[in-house]
Structure formats: C-alpha cells, structure tokens
Structure 1
Amino acid sequence: MSTLFLVATPIGNLKDFSPRAVEVLNSVDYIACEDTRTSSKLLQAYQINKPTFSFHQHNEHKKVDYLTDLLMSGSQVALITDAGMPGISDPGFLASRAAHQKGIPVVVIPGPDAATTALAGSGLPCDRYVFEGFLPHKKGRQKRLKELAEEERTIILYESPNRLIKLLRELGEYFGKERLAAVCRELTKTYEEITRAPLSDLQQNYENRDSVKGEIVVIIAGKKYSE
C-alpha cells in the first residue's frame, strides 16, 4: 500500500539527519520538497537520488492533487521541508490532510524543529506552551498581541531578521518591558546564539547591532512567570 512519509530535516546542521530518515528517502519513489534547490544539498550530502518536485506555499493547492494522484497510483511519496518538520509553518498539513481523506496511511519520521529546540534552550518553562508561528503582519496583529499578553503559557514565535526589532518593541509595549524572553538565532549552525533577558534589554541589544541575520525563534515567558 502507498504511504505518505512526512520526514523531518535538519534545521541547520546536516549531521542531525537520522538514519531512519535517510533509509525512508532512499526507499520512496518521489520526494516532495519545499524548495528543490535547498533540498538538493541535503540529498546530495546523503547520496539520495530520487525524483523530486516542489511543494510550497505558492503551489500547494495545485500540487496536492498531483501528490495524491501519485499515491493513489501506487507510488510511495516522502514530503520534506527546507528545515524542520513538515506542516509547521509550511503547507505540509494540506498534504497530510489530503492523504487521510483518501484513506492513504501517513507516517511521520520525527526529527528536529526550531520551535522545540529553541524552547528547550531558552531556560523558560517547557511544560506548557503555545506555538504561534509568525504573527499577522497587519490585519489582526494588535489584537493578537493583546490576547497573547494575557497568555500564562510560554509563547513561541517565529520572526524574520529584518522584523525582529519591530517585534521586540511591540512585545515590550503589550507584554511589559520586564517580561522575560529569549531570542534564539541560527540554531544548530556555526553562529548559534540564545540571548535571554527582559524584553527591554533584548530590544536594546539588537538595536545596537549593525545587522541581524539568520533564522529566528522568540520565546516569551507566560504572564505569571517570575524568577
């Protein structure tokens, strides 16, 4: 029977790829990639030679039918993202949903993801947390910030380098400048950095830098947390 494999990929360090993930990718007929150019580096590093096709936020609805047609015809298909777990802040969930709707088994090959890696390294409570991904850029952003300011669980946000300072300013405004948080940047890569401090200090830290680069996760303590 055909199976859709959701395969987690390294978030930075290619050595984090699991032997089981390599075995699965070598066994399938096709690999759906968020970006075939990015994925080619990983596949080449592990000498995986399988047909690939793109599956990303700009073509996911069109490619869902293609992917399910492959599965229904008897092909084994794996879905990978540029980094981390398929379905987390990418359209992978559409593929998983479509497979379930067609009665096709879905198997997850676990691995690293930036959200829980940052959470574990932040030194903030990990027992209860809420993952928000990227906040809305415009519509609904202020409302969501107000709601999250009352959240008692640890909060996980994704942000781009060029919008980090704006985010830290907004968090200080809505959450209070003394709310403890951590900015986790370039996780598992050469210049990995976790900076943990009150929001006001984090804002000042990054405003004083010439530039901010890399993939970023921001972890914020819940409303009632104190040290």
Structure 2
Amino acid sequence: MGTDDWLTSTRISYDTVAANYADQVRGAIAGHQYLRAALALFADSVRAAGGGPVADVGCGPGHVTAHLHELGLDAFGIDLSPGMIDVARRDHPGLRFDVGSMTDPNLPDASIAGLLAWQSLIHIPNEQALTVFRHFHRALRPGGPLQLLFHVGDGSQLKTEGYGGQPMKVHVYRRQPDQVSSWLRDTGFEVEAQMLLNPGEHASQALVFARRRLHA
C-alpha cells in the first residue's frame, strides 16, 4: 500500500470515529497516574531545556494537548484527521490545533522546544518510521525532549471496527521498545529511558523518553 493510500484510509477512519473516540478518552489521563507522571516529566524537561512551543503530534481530540497546557506549556496539536481537529477545537477553545501529517509536518527547522506523539505512531508502517523520526529531529531544537507512547508487541493487525462500532480501515502496529529506540538513535536522538505499562499483558504499552542530540 502506498503512502497516500494508508494515509487516506487513516484519515477517513478517524474522521468517522472522532466524536466517539473523544468521548472514550475524555478523563483517561486523570485516571492513570503513570501517564500523568510521564507528562509532568515531559513538561519539566521542556522547561529545563529553555522552554518554548511544544507539538503534540497525532493529537486526536486534543485531551493530551490540553493537559500539557494545564502544566504550563505552550502546547499545540497536529492531527491527520480534520474531524479530530474539529472536535479538539470544539472541546478546547483557545488552544491551537492544525491539520497535518507526521510524514511531512509543516514545522520549520528547530522551531519547537519539545515533541510528544502518544498512540499516533501505531498506524505508521515500519518503512515510514525513519522518515517520521527524521522530521521529528529536524523540527526539534537541539536538546529538545521527545516522548513516545505506543502499543508493545510484534506485527500488525487490520482494524475494521472502531469506537462506537463505527467502520475503520487502519493497520495497528505493535512494536518492541528496543526497536523504536534503535530507530531514534539512527535518526539523531539520545534515548534516555524506556517504561512499560501493564507489562506482559496484551494491552501493554511503552513510553520512550529521548531528546535531540545537542551536537550531530
């Protein structure tokens, strides 16, 4: 499947489920102490690196962007799905949300102080991962932190039904933290930590904490 094909399928799928997805994740951060702690650590890292604008890439309905804003960050969201962006703007007026793709984000070089991508890499095929991470590296300032959250496992599965029983057509990729960390190192990042949530379970997730190297 070409890049345009899977991007189109992903965009249409999330346009379809946007409202139901927003209802499902509303309050998810408040109920998960480790996710709150990870975001607090990210906010501290951004401030320690000098502060500035922060991109939440694959922001969905904007709940993570809003939480970062509550932590005092100048956060804005980017998502492939116009439907998700409409919901984000509705639910979080006053915050900035833009339609865009992590495969070619409209972010100037070294323009952001931090970048977060939670559960948005799960639809990126392996052959596109290095391209995405190179864009992340290009957009981040030297020393800027990067935080990723993704499903742990191996292989991919086609998801045909989503939130609220709505039809979807997206591949969901599960990956091992060591593989993601290797890709990050190959694209100019220093990996600082990995963290497993619900280790050993089917719903296991991983957090990877990294930052753009100060020097090439």
Question: TM (normalized to structure 2)?
Answer: 0.37
